[in-house]
Amino acid sequence: MIDGAKLLVTIDEIVNEKQISRNLILESIKEGIKKAYEKHFDPEATIIVDIDQKTGQIKVEKELAVVKKVEDDLLEIGLKEAKTKYGEQITVDDKVYEPVNSEEFSRLAIFQVGQIIKQQIKEAEKDSIFDEYIAQKGHLMTGIVIAAEEKYLLVEVERTFAYISRRNLIFSDNYEVGQQITFLAEDIVKSKNAGQITGSRTSNDFLYRLLEREIPEIFEQVIEVKAIAREPGRRSKIAVYSTNENIDPIGACVGSRGSRINKVTAELQDEKIDICIYDENSQQFIINSLSPVKVISITTNDEGKEADVVVPDEQLSLAIGKGGSAAKLVAKLTKWKINIMSYSEALTNQIEILWNGNLTSEELTALQVKLKDKIKGKYLTNTSVPTVEMTVDLPVEEFEIIEEQMAEETMILNEEEYQVDDLSEAAPEVLAEEIQEIEKNISYFENEQLESQDEDEEINYDDYDDYYNQDK
């Protein structure tokens, strides 16, 4: 029927190569033989299959019922014949087992066994892979791109494949066949197709796992990542908390000269990452999440989870971001609706200034004076920086660089940098007017950029609520 020695060799090869249980293969062979007989001879027959695991010899027997008068010779045997074959002790209604050795059945059995084994190997492989990789769900994986199609990437990962939809890739990802890619194993599924792992590079968990990989304190849970908000490939905000008061969570995440966070940023196609301190006090958390923007005043409505925030005029655009992107990240991070307005706008609308943020009246005065001096000295007189006249023919990209330079100048200084005693005693309202006069000289940059970029809509602060009704 089937060469037992060769069968054992084949079984051993499958066990070693496919990492499938030996018992599973043996049971598959038995099942194949049974199905071959049922399919080609008698579907109602009861077939018993035994495999000698030392010799590989297969014994196939058909169960027969002992009766006085045979009506179905495929299922029954007469009492006289049964006594002759199996002994005088046989009586009516006993069960006897007759060997199945026909040449035709042997041929059919071999074919059926082959098909069953192939199918069982596929199923067992999927089960084995699923069992092996299910524990890696939610963790980082690295593989080689073997197909880069219009809608997805197919990635080879050791014994299996991962499917990554283009929707789950960063917009600037441009992987080609043969390149290595790191991603999050978002789900592990049993599938008829090749890909059993679905991957993502845009999820918040992907960023978390990268932070965990590069920052030992996060891996050891000395520093906890409390919240993440992402605009994949552009900017992220993360809120961290240290369980050890002697460890600065922001410093630990950034690393010496940015060594740790820069590795994460590089993996995310230069996605900028803002880190803030998590606080259980909602007001303080919102203030922290707006960093590097300083907060002059904040009022909150706990029931509606809505906050009104006043920031320096010079940092309003930084707080809101292009198309409201920065403000939306803060809203996602804190799970609060944040209404941001400038200091001068608050004064115009007679909104009470509580001075309960992280910027005092004196510090605001210092900021405005210092910014005024920097604007005068750098943007209006420094020939190394483009002036209005010099930028007329510059491309849009140059205007973006200039805008970023100007935004950086508005980043708040540490408290020790303020020298309040040496500053003008002019009220913030007066200094705000002076700053606005100076800003008229540089408004050309922003106006030119808005006119040149179709994709950047001008921010309408009256309709600012619209930014919070998206992607929430």
Bridge partners of 276, per DSSP, are: 239
pLDDT cut 70: percent of the chain above it: 76
pLDDT at residue 312 is higher than 60? yes
Mean pLDDT over 445-452 rounds to 37
Going 49 to 50 to 53 to 56, the CA torsion angle's sign is negative
Identify residue 301 by its one-letter amino acid code. Answer: N
Summary mean pLDDT of the chain? 80
- Domain spanning 137-202, CATH architecture: Beta Barrel (2.40)
- pLDDT, position 112: 72
pLDDT at residue 304 is higher than 50? yes
Range in 329-338, 359-368, 405-414 the model is least confident about? 405-414
C-alpha angle with apex 113: 108 to 116, nearest 5 degrees? Answer: 125
Q: In the numeric block, which tokens belong to residue 397?
A: 């990209």
Please give the CATH topology (third level) of the domain spanning 279-468: GMP Synthetase; Chain A, domain 3 (3.30.300)
pLDDT at residue 420 is higher than 70? no
Task: With residue 187 as reference, give the H or E element that holds it.
Answer: strand 180-188
The 3-class secondary structure across 381-413, one letter per residue, is CCCCCCCCCCCCCCCHHHHHHHHHHHHHHCCCC
Which carries the bigger pLDDT value, residue 13 or residue 90?
A: 90
pLDDT at residue 29 is higher than 90? no
Q: pLDDT for 161-193, tens place per residue?
A: 999 999 999 999 999 999 999 999 999 887 665
- pLDDT, position 465: 39
CA pair distance 201, 182, nearest whole angstrom: 8
pLDDT cut 90: percent of the chain above it: 47
Quick one: pLDDT band at residue 11, thresholds 50, 70, 90? confident
Quick one: pLDDT band at residue 144, thresholds 50, 70, 90? very high
**Which are the contacts of 164, defined by CB distance < 8 A and separation ≥ 6?**
152, 153, 155, 181, 183, 198, 199, 200, 201
DSSP string spanning 19-41? ---HHHHHHHHHHHHHHHHHHHT
Q: pLDDT for 189-213, tens place per residue?
A: 876 655 589 999 999 999 999 999 9
pLDDT at residue 75 is higher than 80? yes
pLDDT at residue 424 is higher than 70? no
Q: In the numeric block, which tokens belong to residue 148?
A: 């880069």
Range in 42-46, 56-60, 413-417 the model is least confident about? 413-417
List Cα–Cα distances, 108 to 26, 51, 122, 267, in angstroms.
Answer: 18, 18, 22, 56
R_g of the chain, CA atoms, integer Å:
37
Mean pLDDT over 95-102 rounds to 82
Identify residue 6 by its one-letter amino acid code. Answer: K
Quick one: pLDDT band at residue 454, thresholds 50, 70, 90? very low
Three-state DSSP class for 74? coil
Which carries the bigger pLDDT value, residue 130 or residue 117?
A: 130
pLDDT at residue 394 is higher than 70? no
**Which are the contacts of 450, defined by CB distance < 8 A and separation ≥ 6?**
456, 458
Q: Please check whether residue 78 is in contact with residue 67, taking contact to mean a CB–CB distance below 8 angstroms.
A: yes
- pLDDT, position 60: 85
pLDDT at residue 54 is higher than 60? yes
Bridge partners of 200, per DSSP, are: 184
CA pair distance 120, 27, nearest whole angstrom: 10
Q: What is the CATH number of domain 4-133?
A: 3.30.1480.10
Which carries the bigger pLDDT value, residue 440 or residue 296?
A: 296
Instruction: Give the residue among 202, 187, 198 at the shortest CA–CA distance from 161.
Output: 198
- pLDDT, position 174: 95
CA pair distance 421, 336, nearest whole angstrom: 38
Q: pLDDT for 248-283, tens place per residue?
A: 999 999 999 999 999 999 999 999 999 999 999 999
CA pair distance 130, 288, nearest whole angstrom: 42
Q: Which residue has the tokens 């909104």?
A: 351
- Predicted TM-score (pTM) of this structure: 0.65
Instruction: Give the residue among 223, 237, 239 at the shortest CA–CA distance from 282.
Output: 239
What residues does each domain of the chain span? 4-133, 137-202, 279-468
Q: pLDDT for 202-252, tens place per residue?
A: 999 999 999 999 999 999 999 999 999 999 999 999 999 999 999 999 999
CA pair distance 271, 164, nearest whole angstrom: 20
Quick one: pLDDT band at residue 378, thresholds 50, 70, 90? low
- pLDDT, position 1: 56
